[in-house]
Amino acid sequence: MTTAKTTYLGELRTSSIHLQSSSKIISDAPLDNQGKGQAFSPTDCCATSLAMCMFTIMGIHVQKHDFDIIDSFAEVTKTMASDPRRISKIDVKMTVKTSRSLNENEKKALENAAFHCPVAKSLHPDITQAITFSYQ
């Protein structure tokens, strides 16, 4: 089953539609690579998907352990390298807001779940994944 349809719109912009939900993503090339930078770049989507996947797997974990992480957020910083142009590092600062206090073992289990998300396991090993967690 096809996941998405991506259409090139011209001027270094694409539109992708998730076929199951009809959700839409626009991408633009970044300013430093001949683009307008008016939307997520493809590499921004890749870097951001790491945080999204981590939260998804953490959400599955917390459902099984009777607490939630609603309103938690991540700040994602992507570092590019050149020759060839590629993502060299993704920094993810996870701020985890929990519905109850967690002990160190619970925090470690939650972080372990995040580190084992499919995107983290799919990224090339040359991409540094610098992940930090803080709890509120």
pLDDT tens, position by position, 121-135: 999 999 999 999 999
What pLDDT does residue 52 have? 98
Tell me, rounded to whole angstroms, the distance of Cα 7 from its chain centroid.
Answer: 22
- In DSSP terms, which residues pair with 132 in a beta bridge? 93
CATH superfamily of the domain spanning 42-135: K homology (KH) domain (3.30.300.20)
* Separation of alpha carbons 51 and 82, rounded Å: 24
Amino acid present at 128: T
What pLDDT does residue 100 have? 94
Q: Mean pLDDT in the chain?
A: 97
Contact 91, 76 (CB under 8 A): yes
Instruction: For residue 30, name the pLDDT band (cuts at 50, 70, 90).
Output: very high
Contact 40, 47 (CB under 8 A): no
What pLDDT does residue 76 have? 98
pLDDT tens readout for residues 40-86 = 999 999 999 999 999 999 999 999 999 999 999 999 999 999 999 99
Tell me what percent of the residues of the chain surpass a pLDDT of 90.
Answer: 100
* Separation of alpha carbons 67 and 63, rounded Å: 7
- Radius of gyration for the alpha carbons in the chain, expressed in angstroms and rounded: 17
What pLDDT does residue 34 have? 95
What pLDDT does residue 112 have? 98
